[in-house]
Amino acid sequence: MDLSSFLTSETIKKINSWEEKFNVKIIVCSPSKSRLGVFIPKRHDNHVIRINNNLNKYAFLITLIHEIAHAVIWEKYGRRVNPHGEEWKDQYKKMMLPFLNPEFLPEDVLKSLSNHMINPRASSVRDLELSMILKKYDKHKSTFISEIHNGDEFSIDNGKRFVRIEKLRKNYQCKEISTGKLYRFSPLAEVKLI
């Protein structure tokens, strides 16, 4: 797989060595709405990592290392450990460490990712600060529900229209304009202001 449009040449060398060492095939594919990447354990010859083709180069690198860490843990433990348990966290930290420097990441991503790596979560998307910083590097600029104000009207991809009511503990309560039903939105929900 040619990863040159997603990674630097120095990074590609390391990723290619891991691909070979851990028997992984990387497939860059159309975006999934539910995840940035996925590790699929070996069925025939190779493990498979599917990763979204719409990620910026920093989100791509972070997601890819996250998934390769799953391959390493699968090789060592199979199903005997939690997929995002301590073994995976330790492996992910170890694999990410060489990339935690300005040669690979801009200062803002580096700072937020370093904090994230203290106790990495099952998904970088669940780390609001890191997700917001990574989104700044996307080609397509998004507006998040956390960036608009109470009372603002917006629509989502399916065309439904809402008004933002209030911030709850983490999420935002919104009312669908046509039905009056209340919904909760993640702070990272992408919206279009009306």
| Full-model pTM | 0.82
* Domain end position, chosen among 86, 106, 135: 135
Q: Can you tell me the distance from the alpha carbon of 84 to that of 89, in angstroms, rounded to the nearest whole number?
A: 7
57 and 127 belong to one structural domain:
yes
Q: Can you tell me the distance from the alpha carbon of 115 to that of 118, in angstroms, rounded to the nearest whole number?
A: 6
In this prediction, residue 132 carries a pLDDT of 87
Contact between residue 52 and residue 62 where contact means Cβ atoms under 8 Å apart: no
123 and 46 belong to one structural domain:
yes
CATH number at residue 29: 3.30.2010
Alpha helices in 78-191 (DSSP H): 86-96, 107-116, 128-135
In this prediction, residue 81 carries a pLDDT of 92
Residue 41 is assigned to a structural domain of this protein: yes
What residues make up the domain containing 158?
143-193
* Domain end position, chosen among 135, 157, 172: 135
The residue ranges of the chain whose pLDDT is under 70 are: none
Q: Number of structural domains, the chain?
A: 2
Q: Over the stretch 154-167, which tens digit does the pLDDT of each residue have? A: 999 899 999 999 99
In this prediction, residue 88 carries a pLDDT of 95
Residues with Cβ within 8 Å of 178's Cβ and at least 6 positions away in sequence, in order, are: 160, 161
